[in-house]
Chain A
């Protein structure tokens, strides 16, 4: 079963604009990760944030985590057409079950 939901399900913006995607989850987690998937192919790991962290940056990516609200957001700044993809959050629980539990994803379209 899916851990949670990404919001929005789809997002369309112009190149240069910022894109914000949100993720909610249900259980206590050890960490939350964001992945990108192009055209229904393999997933690429973007960034990991641990449960004791509140914010993390990597290049044009900024991730926040609010464990009290069981939610995370991914901000992509100065978007490019190449950022067009589906973005998924995935959680690893504290029980150490060693599996990733993915949300349903946000489909981002960046128009040139």
Chain B
């Protein structure tokens, strides 16, 4: 079975631009979460979606938004890019949203903002 897939794998943008990152969860998984991992740090939670509804939001500005589609895939959008948005963006899927649910992570999208 395919794992969590993310596209693109790498992306270079300039300040002020907009970016869309995509994630396809494991088949049967209805929950998708997004994390930002800056170099040398652990991942930080951005959003969680379950059944197309936002279930959680981390401490990120409104420039960050996301959505989940009927097939449970998800997009993360970032507007007005800043240099500090350069990071590895990780998507994770799980069956549901219960405590202790194992999260399966994709390989990530590495974003560089120049």
Residues of A within 8 A of B (CB): 1-2, 30-31, 35, 40-45, 48, 50, 88, 90, 92, 96-105
Contacts and interface: CB of A to CB of B under 8 A. Distances in A.
Given A99-B33, A99-B58, A2 B41 contact: yes
Contacts, number: 68
Interface residues on B, range: 20 to 34
Contacts of A30: 99-100
A98 to B, nearest CB: 5
18 contacts: A31-B99, A40-B37, A40-B39, A40-B110, A42-B105, A45-B102, A88-B42, A92-B100, A98-B48, A98-B55, A98-B99, A99-B45, A99-B48, A100-B33, A102-B35, A102-B43, A104-B41, A105-B41
